[in-house]
Structure 1
Amino acid sequence: MKVAKFGGSSLANATQIKKVGEIIKSDPERKFIVVSAPGKRDQADTKMTDLLIQMGDSYINGLQYEDDFLRIMDRFAEITEELNLSNELLNEFESTIKTVLTKDQIITDKLDAIKAIGEDSSAKIVSAYLQSLGLDAHYINPLDAGIIVSDEPGNAQILPGSLAKIYSLHQKDGILVIPGFFGYTEQGKLATFSRGGSDITGSIIAAGVKAELYENFTDVNSVYSVNPNIVENPKEITILTYKEMRELSYAGFSVFHDEALIPVIKEKIPICIKNTNNPDAQGTYIVSEREVKEDECVSGIASDTGFCSLYVSKYLMNREIGFGRKLLGILEDEGISFEHAPSGIDDMSVIIRERNFPPAKEAIVLNRIKEELHADTVSLHRGIAIIMVVGEGLVNTIGVANKAISALAEARVNIEMINQGSSEVSMMFGIQSSDIDRAIKSIYRAYFEKNN
Structure 2
Amino acid sequence: MKVVKFGGSSLASGPAVANALKIITSDPERQIVVTSAPGKRHAGDIKVTDLLIRYANQIIGGENASATVEEIFQRYVEIGHYFGVEEGNISHLRDILLSLPNGNYPNNEYLMAAFKAHGECLNAQLIAIILNEQGVKARFVDPKAAGLTVTGSPNNASIAPESYQALENFEYEPDEKLIFPGFYGYTLAGHIATFSRGGSDITGAILARGFHADLYENFTDVDAIFSANPAVVDHPLPIQTMTYREMRELSYAGFSVFHDEALIPAIQGQIPINVKNTQHPEKRGTMIVPEKHFKPEHIMTGIASSKHFAALYLHKYLINKEVGFTLRILNILSKYGLSYEHMPTGIDDLTIIFDKNKLSDEIIDSVCDDIQTEINPDHLEWINDYAIIMIVGEGMKNHIGVMRDIATPVAAQGISLRMVNQGSSEISIMIGTTTEDADRAVKAIYDYFFKR
Match of 1:396 among 398, 412, 429: 398
2:137 corresponds to: 136
After superposition, the Cα gap between the structure-2 partners of 1:8 and 1:60, relative to the gap in structure 1 and judged at 3 Å, is same
1:63-82 paired onto structure 2 within 5 Å: 65-82=65-82
Letter in 2 for 1:21: L
Letter in 1 for 2:12: A
After superposition, the Cα gap between the structure-2 partners of 1:309 and 1:66, relative to the gap in structure 1 and judged at 3 Å, is farther
1:212 corresponds to: 214
Partner Cα distance (2:89, 2:350) in 1: 57
SS in 1 for 2:180: strand
Partner Cα distance (1:226, 1:120) in 2: 34
Partner Cα distance (2:242, 2:267) in 1: 13
- Displacement after TM superposition at 1:85 (Å): 2.0
After superposition, the Cα gap between the structure-2 partners of 1:415 and 1:50, relative to the gap in structure 1 and judged at 3 Å, is farther
Partner Cα distance (1:58, 1:232) in 2: 44
Partner Cα distance (1:242, 1:369) in 2: 38
Partner Cα distance (2:91, 2:314) in 1: 59
1:239-278 paired onto structure 2 within 5 Å: 239-278=241-280
SS in 1 for 2:151: coil
RMSD in angstroms over aligned alpha carbons? Answer: 1.8
C-alpha contact (below 8 Å) 1:11/1:36 kept by paired residues:
yes
C-alpha contact (below 8 Å) 2:90/2:126 kept by paired residues:
no
Partner Cα distance (2:222, 2:409) in 1: 28
Which runs of 5 or more residues in structure 2 are unaligned? none
Map Cα deviations across residues 365-419 of structure 1 (whole Å, 9 max, x no partner).
Answer: 1111122233333222113221111111222212212222222223333322222
Partner Cα distance (1:83, 1:410) in 2: 58
Partner Cα distance (1:63, 1:380) in 2: 43
SS in 1 for 2:380: strand
Map Cα deviations across residues 107-152 of structure 1 (whole Å, 9 max, x no partner).
Answer: 1001101110111111111111111221110000111112111031
Q: Which moved more, 1:207-216 or 1:327-336?
A: 327-336
Q: Which moved more, 1:188-197 or 1:162-171?
A: 162-171
After superposition, the Cα gap between the structure-2 partners of 1:64 and 1:411, relative to the gap in structure 1 and judged at 3 Å, is farther
1:8-157 paired onto structure 2 within 5 Å: 8-62=8-62, 65-88=65-88, 90-103=90-103, 105=105, 106-157=107-158
Letter in 1 for 2:274: C
1:148-187 paired onto structure 2 within 5 Å: 148-172=149-173, 174-187=176-189
- Displacement after TM superposition at 1:220 (Å): 1.2
Q: Which moved more, 1:304-313 or 1:177-186?
A: 304-313
SS in 2 for 1:157: strand
After superposition, the Cα gap between the structure-2 partners of 1:186 and 1:445, relative to the gap in structure 1 and judged at 3 Å, is same
Letter in 1 for 2:224: S
After superposition, the Cα gap between the structure-2 partners of 1:319 and 1:63, relative to the gap in structure 1 and judged at 3 Å, is farther
C-alpha contact (below 8 Å) 2:198/2:262 kept by paired residues:
no
Partner Cα distance (1:375, 1:102) in 2: 56
C-alpha contact (below 8 Å) 1:112/1:192 kept by paired residues:
yes
Letter in 1 for 2:31: K
Q: How many residues align?
A: 449
1:190-205 paired onto structure 2 within 5 Å: 190-205=192-207
After superposition, the Cα gap between the structure-2 partners of 1:307 and 1:333, relative to the gap in structure 1 and judged at 3 Å, is same
Partner Cα distance (1:113, 1:89) in 2: 24
Q: Which moved more, 1:280-289 or 1:47-56?
A: 47-56
C-alpha contact (below 8 Å) 1:21/1:129 kept by paired residues:
no
Q: Under a length normalisation based on structure 2, what TM-score does the superposition of the two structures give? A: 0.94
Partner Cα distance (1:192, 1:388) in 2: 29
Q: Under a length normalisation based on structure 1, what TM-score does the superposition of the two structures give? A: 0.94
- Displacement after TM superposition at 1:209 (Å): 0.8
C-alpha contact (below 8 Å) 2:243/2:294 kept by paired residues:
no
Partner Cα distance (1:234, 1:432) in 2: 23
Letter in 2 for 1:107: N
Partner Cα distance (2:150, 2:11) in 1: 25
After superposition, the Cα gap between the structure-2 partners of 1:66 and 1:419, relative to the gap in structure 1 and judged at 3 Å, is farther
C-alpha contact (below 8 Å) 1:370/1:376 kept by paired residues:
no
After superposition, the Cα gap between the structure-2 partners of 1:170 and 1:31, relative to the gap in structure 1 and judged at 3 Å, is farther
1:340 corresponds to: 342
Which runs of 5 or more residues in structure 1 are unaligned? none
After superposition, the Cα gap between the structure-2 partners of 1:307 and 1:90, relative to the gap in structure 1 and judged at 3 Å, is farther
Map Cα deviations across residues 73-129 of structure 1 (whole Å, 9 max, x no partner).
Answer: 232221121122242454323222222234353110011011101111111111111
Map Cα deviations across residues 260-311 of structure 1 (whole Å, 9 max, x no partner).
Answer: 1111111211111111111111111111125445x71100011122111122
Letter in 2 for 1:77: V
Partner Cα distance (2:236, 2:450) in 1: 9
